[in-house]
Amino acid sequence: MARPLLLVHAHPDDEVLTTGGVMAAQLAADEPVCLVTCTLGEQGEVIPESLQHLAEDPDALGRHRIGELESALSELAAGQGTVDQRFLGGAGRYRDSGMMGTAPNEDPRSFWQADLREAADHLVRIIREVRPEVLLTYDHFGGYGHPDHIKAHRVAMYAADLAGVRGYAHELGAAWEIPRIYWAVMGAEPLAAGVAALGPHASTQWFDPARPPGVPAADIDVTVDISAFLDRKRAAMTAHHTQVRVEQDRFSLSNDFDFPFLTTEHFQLVRGDPEADDTLFPDLSDG
């Protein structure tokens, strides 16, 4: 029986950064993958000099990033299956909110300003249609505090609850309780090791060894070895060329800071049996 995976991400590119390896693995196993992207990333900064005109035109950047996302997903699939990608409420329904305190954050069309239940209902409909076995989204802080990531977390968690209620909103489909939910996080120890391996000339001011970012191993429930899919992940990141600059052993974002490629992805269990084996999809039927 199929074991559908549902992912809820804020912007095009986020799907690759923290969950690209598990998406590729799921596709390679011929299992369904549904990706819900909440905004078009209209407020993203633009790296390539040749595309700077997009930085002045958020709507054009949003349209451009739809194309980047399509390319990235086909790199992740590498001919094995396709990602069922959807934008929450349809493409352009919710706008990138930018960072806290900026004008785009106050825009009534922004995802940050969106009514929580209305946004959740778009996702309830998808959950009840796709009937995922596993949901992946962010933690309560959205990983690093971007308003769209925090909002994506809230919408995903609320929608997961509403979708399972038999008497809630029959017009959105038959109730579905998602058996397992995880938050995708950065693993603190692998991240620290990866940064150290980049060497002294890397631009890693973002990393404070006194207060290393990420979640410690003791608080991580599932670690997935994605080394077999690292090439696909690298190619998919390259496809997001307005957002990511990729080199062999590292990548950088618009702030020019270097990040290591890691061979693992990390997850905290939110819903599901913590005693089950430590894979994303434990085989509960044998248990």
Which residues are at the interface with Zn ion (CB under 5 A)?
A: 10-11, 14
Q: Report the b/e string of 61-70 with b at 16+ CB within 10 A.
A: bbebbbebbe
Q: Which tokens is 131 given?
A: 């009937």
**Rounded CA separation 192/259 (Å):** 10
Which C-beta is closer to Zn ion: that of 11 or that of 153? 11
Q: How far is the CB of 33 from Zn ion (least distance, A)?
A: 19
Q: How far is the CB of 42 from Zn ion (least distance, A)?
A: 12
Q: How far is the CB of 227 from Zn ion (least distance, A)?
A: 24
Name the closest residue to Zn ion (Cβ): 11
Q: Residue 64, Cα to own-chain centre: how many angstroms?
A: 19
Q: How far is CA 199 from CA 34, 171, 187, 212, in A?
A: 37, 56, 19, 17
Q: How far is CA 186 from CA 50, 139, 197, 218, 244, in A?
A: 32, 10, 17, 13, 18
Which C-beta is closer to Zn ion: that of 14 or that of 121? 14
Torsion of CA 86, 59, 236, 15, to 10 degrees: -50
Q: Helices 147-163 and 116-130 sit at what angle, rounded to 10 degrees?
A: 60
Q: Helices 14-28 and 230-239 sit at what angle, rounded to 10 degrees?
A: 140
Helices (H) and strands (E) in the chain, counts: 7, 10
Which C-beta is closer to Zn ion: that of 14 or that of 42? 14
**Rounded CA separation 236/24 (Å):** 10
Which C-beta is closer to Zn ion: that of 11 or that of 128? 11
Which C-beta is closer to Zn ion: that of 14 or that of 133? 14
Q: How far is the CB of 26 from Zn ion (least distance, A)?
A: 21
Burial classification of residue 248, based on how many CB atoms lie within 10 Å of its CB (0-12 exposed, 13-18 middle, 19 or more buried): exposed
Which C-beta is closer to Zn ion: that of 10 or that of 72? 10
Q: How far is the CB of 155 from Zn ion (least distance, A)?
A: 14
Which C-beta is closer to Zn ion: that of 14 or that of 265? 14
Q: How far is the CB of 148 from Zn ion (least distance, A)?
A: 6
Q: How far is the CB of 242 from Zn ion (least distance, A)?
A: 13
Which C-beta is closer to Zn ion: that of 10 or that of 280? 10
Q: How far is the CB of 105 from Zn ion (least distance, A)?
A: 14
**Rounded CA separation 180/203 (Å):** 37
